[in-house]
Structure 1
């Protein structure tokens, strides 16, 4: 990616129309397709885990991961696929691990509440995964990928131990019509780690991802359909007992995600868009017993066989009208229908939500742009805030200096899982709470962006930003007041996050380099109580850098992706009498990759991931009460791994 492309990159998330990064009133981070390819990633977590302000947590019992953005956990982060919300069972963002990495064009990250534009869950920000759309003209393109990777020191070729990725895609374009299809297999054999016998510290996962699409583009309108399918099985292997028997579980996920999108250019001043989606998402627990002779039978234990189904219908329509060069208006409607069913779901609940949003854009010359916004909403089961406001602005202070600022009211509605889902197994005892209220927040941010140097072959930019968020009625795990042995969801009265970030970018000839840091403070709930004088915030630092150097004549590159995540402190009290400062240790995460082009169609990519061999993080928490306690070592990765991949792309015009 050359410097001019980096400076003029077009972003779409949250915009009234596609705009360059510099013209956007929002501070948007982008991860382009070349950077995604050079990571050798087989999932989005690998792409995002060295980004500033982003952390992941892993539930090894269920084989799932969750994301945090700028101090907020996954339930406050909106995940979009081409602008359409992804469906999850509850607070964790499992959908991030169920998107085919081979179909992604780029990722756009917007920090700060986007509730006016995207509704519930967008308190901390939005991660929009944008898929490849193909090119104009007539062509046939075939893509294939094969990648093998160790899991720490464990590996078998193509199956079982290690990570194995195979993908095949085809795109056919004939004038205005485009047809495409892609299939990817991700196989992870698990990781033994400190486990013994048959058990695995990280659970094996078999995943098949299917994508098909059709697109028709006219002079003033386009229409496209896309299907994304996920078929995933995570295996829990039990230890053998004294008579040679074991209890196993398969967690089986199926996701059928249909998207239909259209755009019509009515005139030079008026554009209309309409998008619709339907998601059928299920998670099934299949429990079996293995006897000493190798015979497998279904478990008859209560709750051992379970299936929960979540379906969502979504529609979004927008109209963008450009009245003059100084005034334009974006208006839209949203509708969502959410349903759930299953043995662990209380009845068969349905939630309908209706919303209307408006966001005018006011310009004063080329130096000032202001976008106030307002969202009106109605929810069928709880009292949603009647109106959600926001205001974002951009001031051009000079040829190379811009200032962005924003305020937004955020909200998050209780998920179906949190309201109606009861989950009990050997590690979990969680009850839904139908009395939950919606979360809401007030958030402020500001960014100063300096294009220090911009000329042929060289560009340097620096961004200094800060944020402050106050969250009310946050939904979190808590001890059930009616049964101390059970966990439920409760509204926590108050939470806050604040922080400062600095991000620097350099593009010079064959070198791309970034260097950034952030310092994030999280609210200490004990500061407002009688536990003594404690700081209001506890702080954690992060530093990251990306170095990409291209040897153009050799068709090769060497790339380093690094991040230091500082220790994570938190004050806690188990008995509500004494306060303990618990810390999760800091850690370094780095990937080193080498890329080489072979001819016109083949690329070879290899390298080392997790150079510092991070596995479990030391943790001094004294909360060891259950599966969702914060005690014990924190699992982060399965150690240093090595990978080698081969990709093929052939195009005939």
Structure 2
């Protein structure tokens, strides 16, 4: 027995000795810049061993318990070039101090806040930046769908039949959000609703978001904020990129990007997006499609020309064709526009041309231009809507630095032609002739960015526009920025004015459905607003993590706000300027946490959006008081696998009801859409990915008897009306309703799986 105990003890001591010897190696040191400045938060990792360390406030790092052998170490830090070195571990400590070289190309450069490139941390205007890699954590066929995990930004579905929508920022309706491509105001008017689809994501470099009015630089529509979609430069793009995926609902999406080198000085980048869904589904059994059927193709081409003195010259063009329909399950194209079977069918043709040209002068003069045409042929039941919109935009800016002043001034001109078959462009005469709307909007703006010292910066600006229909419009703004000496703390305060000229028939889908009569009480006047934002950014470093916090308080006051009144008469949508005021106020917080192989991005927004008229306070329709988003990613580096868990959650929203006896909820419940995504990297060129969307299987029909009112009688043939035009309660209509598809606030597409392949060749 003693011999047995001796042998066991000896074996355990030998194993422990071997284990200790195999894990006693370590490497440690300090990370600095060439100037000797300490670099805090740098990442040091040995990917094969899954070992990771973050440099602390003194620039110190340490990797412990390293097995014997030769290992490759990689060091990364924001604004510095990557550094690689090899170490040989035996059973000793290795002292390795590291000097990282600056790489200014790695700093986040933004353009949306001030209309000129600058490092994000130096911008007096808070700009949120989301890279192409962020959107790959939850693959989506359109930019519209991809924005659903960004804090304070919500894609809103406006119709349960044709699924058109817009993008809301901080609770403000879609028309208050300006969408740009490479700084050009391409998406506006009609395309606020329909033009967000078909932007090839294979060409996406990043998305910049500015929350709050930007009318001083961008004019009308940039009241609630702007979304700037930045495409890749041909010089930085891969020669070929392909992204294909399909879902269990039989949706198919293809993104293809191709770089062409025409000559030593001319490079071209082409992209194609194709989306097809032709599988009618009716899971809620109301005889209407749960998801609109779509067939879309978009072609994008961008050209860069190298010129003397590195002057800019870029051209780009895009063409989009889309055929979408939703309606009763037995609808066919032969029923289009008829009264036998209800369907909503939309044909969209859209082309765009835009460019940037730096004039050949010593001074920095930049000319930007765009022209686009949007043609739409649509029917909503038996109601046709035929529209043609053409927009010409031109802008010349001059940038001059003088001492502490960085001046930017510009001349802008926008011409808008709009024609449709509604009362919006009808001239009331005996012959009822058509009268297209033609709006000329010249403007001039100037801003001065003043560097008071290394910690304080002031931005002041003013814009004057002359609207050919509404006259003079002034929009000033002022921004102040303070940062601590180590730039770990940044405070921004902004006050600005915004304005918007509304066109109901290009912005509000409900006005087109034919389900309600559109009524204008008076001529609509431009809306104006004043906005105040306070933004604070804090960077924290711990021994193993980097934490970025971004908090914002916002307040917007509206005068002359145009609100669609669904409440006064359930059979009408009444439009008028508010005889009172409206307010959007709230707070948001973003947290970005990175440590080891894990990254967590969290966001939450609490807000109150309401209008007040005749001492009556009314909460805005389709606006939640709380929303939250998250993206959690973990990388298994040793096997090349990444797992992403994304989602959002929304609080109750007030919804439009048709009568006092309408059995549907006046307020939506709390709801959430959550997704899981796995990506496996196969060598350097190929990735495969798969996942599940909407794992909770949430749809808006849960908890309500129906979402489309009287879906069995979409032409109101069996509805009886009283002398005032109100629907009467009858045996066949016990709730006194009419057909209405506008009870929409979230997705009606349930759980689904997806699988995709990405191929990139440099």
TM-score range relative to shorter protein: 0.7 to 0.9
Equivalence for 2:395: 316
Q: How many residues align?
A: 608
Task: Report if the CA contact (8 A) 1:71-1:497 is conserved.
Answer: yes
Moved more, 42-51 or 446-455: 446-455
1 CA distance for matches of 2:657 and 2:508? Answer: 29
Task: Report if the CA contact (8 A) 1:593-1:605 is conserved.
Answer: yes
2 CA distance for matches of 1:68 and 1:9? Answer: 25
Equivalence for 1:49: 148
Equivalence for 2:310: 220
> Is 2:228 aligned against 1:128?
yes
> Is 2:241 aligned against 1:147?
no
2 CA distance for matches of 1:209 and 1:141? Answer: 19
Equivalence for 2:386: 307
Secondary structure in 2 matching 1:45? helix
2 CA distance for matches of 1:582 and 1:484? Answer: 14
TM-score, normalization: structure 2?
0.73
Moved more, 40-49 or 139-148: 139-148
Give, in angstroms, the shift of residue 169 of structure 1.
2.3
TM-score, normalization: structure 1?
0.84
> Is 2:436 aligned against 1:357?
no
Change over 3 Å in CA distance of 1:197–1:178 after alignment to 2 = same
Secondary structure in 1 matching 2:217? helix
Secondary structure in 2 matching 1:435? coil
Give, in angstroms, the shift of residue 587 of structure 1.
1.1
> Is 2:749 aligned against 1:645?
no
1 CA distance for matches of 2:761 and 2:519? Answer: 53
2 CA distance for matches of 1:368 and 1:627? Answer: 58
Equivalence for 1:159: none
Task: Report if the CA contact (8 A) 2:520-2:576 is conserved.
Answer: no
Change over 3 Å in CA distance of 1:634–1:283 after alignment to 2 = same
1 CA distance for matches of 2:513 and 2:541? Answer: 58
1 CA distance for matches of 2:485 and 2:637? Answer: 35
Equivalence for 2:30: none
Task: Report if the CA contact (8 A) 1:395-1:403 is conserved.
Answer: yes
One of 184, 193, 198 as aligned partner of 2:282: 193
Equivalence for 2:681: 597
1 CA distance for matches of 2:460 and 2:585? Answer: 23
> Is 2:139 aligned against 1:40?
yes
> Is 2:322 aligned against 1:232?
yes
1 CA distance for matches of 2:190 and 2:606? Answer: 29
Equivalence for 1:636: 747
Task: Report if the CA contact (8 A) 1:419-1:435 is conserved.
Answer: no
Task: Report if the CA contact (8 A) 2:175-2:192 is conserved.
Answer: yes
> Is 2:142 aligned against 1:68?
no
Task: Report if the CA contact (8 A) 2:162-2:345 is conserved.
Answer: no
Secondary structure in 1 matching 2:449? strand
2 CA distance for matches of 1:232 and 1:420? Answer: 19
Structure with greater proportional strand content: 1
Change over 3 Å in CA distance of 1:422–1:464 after alignment to 2 = closer
2 CA distance for matches of 1:239 and 1:548? Answer: 40
Equivalence for 1:181: 270
One of 388, 407, 413 as aligned partner of 2:475: 388
> Is 2:565 aligned against 1:487?
no
Change over 3 Å in CA distance of 1:369–1:615 after alignment to 2 = same
1 CA distance for matches of 2:291 and 2:548? Answer: 41
Give, in angstroms, the shift of residue 175 of structure 1.
2.9
Task: Report if the CA contact (8 A) 1:421-1:432 is conserved.
Answer: no
Secondary structure in 2 matching 1:34? helix
Query: What are the superposed Cα offsets for residues 392-432 of structure 1, whole Å, 9 maximum, x if unpaired?
Result: 11011442211100000111112373699996655353367
Give, in angstroms, the shift of residue 556 of structure 1.
2.2
Equivalence for 2:180: 80
Task: Report if the CA contact (8 A) 1:202-1:638 is conserved.
Answer: yes
Query: What are the superposed Cα offsets for residues 450-485 of structure 1, whole Å, 9 maximum, x if unpaired?
Result: 112289x8422212210111111112223799x985
Equivalence for 2:418: 340
Equivalence for 2:631: 546
1 CA distance for matches of 2:564 and 2:305? Answer: 47
> Is 2:459 aligned against 1:371?
yes
Task: Report if the CA contact (8 A) 2:365-2:397 is conserved.
Answer: yes
Change over 3 Å in CA distance of 1:573–1:200 after alignment to 2 = closer
Unmatched tracts of structure 1, length 5 or more: 152-161, 289-300
Secondary structure in 2 matching 1:117? helix
Give, in angstroms, the shift of residue 583 of structure 1.
1.9
2 CA distance for matches of 1:258 and 1:79? Answer: 15
Task: Report if the CA contact (8 A) 1:110-1:127 is conserved.
Answer: yes
One of 492, 503, 506 as aligned partner of 1:404: 492
RMSD: 3.6
Change over 3 Å in CA distance of 1:191–1:512 after alignment to 2 = farther
Task: Report if the CA contact (8 A) 2:672-2:698 is conserved.
Answer: yes
Secondary structure in 2 matching 1:553? helix
2 CA distance for matches of 1:190 and 1:114? Answer: 41
Equivalence for 2:53: none
1 CA distance for matches of 2:703 and 2:136? Answer: 34
One of 242, 249, 257 as aligned partner of 2:352: 257
Query: What are the superposed Cα offsets for residues 89-143 of structure 1, whole Å, 9 maximum, x if unpaired?
Result: 459533222322222111111111111011111111111111111226xx97122
Task: Report if the CA contact (8 A) 1:466-1:501 is conserved.
Answer: yes
1 CA distance for matches of 2:492 and 2:197? Answer: 32
Change over 3 Å in CA distance of 1:645–1:5 after alignment to 2 = farther
Secondary structure in 1 matching 2:505? helix
One of 595, 598, 605 as aligned partner of 1:518: 605
Secondary structure in 2 matching 1:611? coil
Secondary structure in 1 matching 2:524? coil
Equivalence for 2:531: 443
> Is 2:657 aligned against 1:564?
no
2 CA distance for matches of 1:223 and 1:124? Answer: 31
Give, in angstroms, the shift of residue 539 of structure 1.
7.0
Task: Report if the CA contact (8 A) 2:557-2:582 is conserved.
Answer: yes
1 CA distance for matches of 2:536 and 2:278? Answer: 46
2 CA distance for matches of 1:388 and 1:103? Answer: 34
One of 560, 564, 569 as aligned partner of 1:473: 560
Query: What are the superposed Cα offsets for residues 129-176 of structure 1, whole Å, 9 maximum, x if unpaired?
Result: 11111226xx9712222211123xxxxxxxxxx210123221023432
> Is 2:609 aligned against 1:609?
no
Equivalence for 1:210: 299
Equivalence for 1:292: none
Equivalence for 1:4: 78
Give, in angstroms, the shift of residue 542 of structure 1.
2.0
Give, in angstroms, the shift of residue 635 of structure 1.
4.2
| Mapping 1:423-434, distance limit 5 Å | 426-430=514-518
Change over 3 Å in CA distance of 1:526–1:140 after alignment to 2 = closer
Query: What are the superposed Cα offsets for residues 190-246 of structure 1, whole Å, 9 maximum, x if unpaired?
Result: 5523465974122201110111222102233121111111100012344559xx974
Task: Report if the CA contact (8 A) 2:273-2:297 is conserved.
Answer: yes
Change over 3 Å in CA distance of 1:19–1:647 after alignment to 2 = same
Please tell me whether Structure 1 or Structure 2 has the larger radius of gyration of its CA atoms: 2
Give, in angstroms, the shift of residue 552 of structure 1.
2.8
One of 672, 680, 693 as aligned partner of 1:588: 672
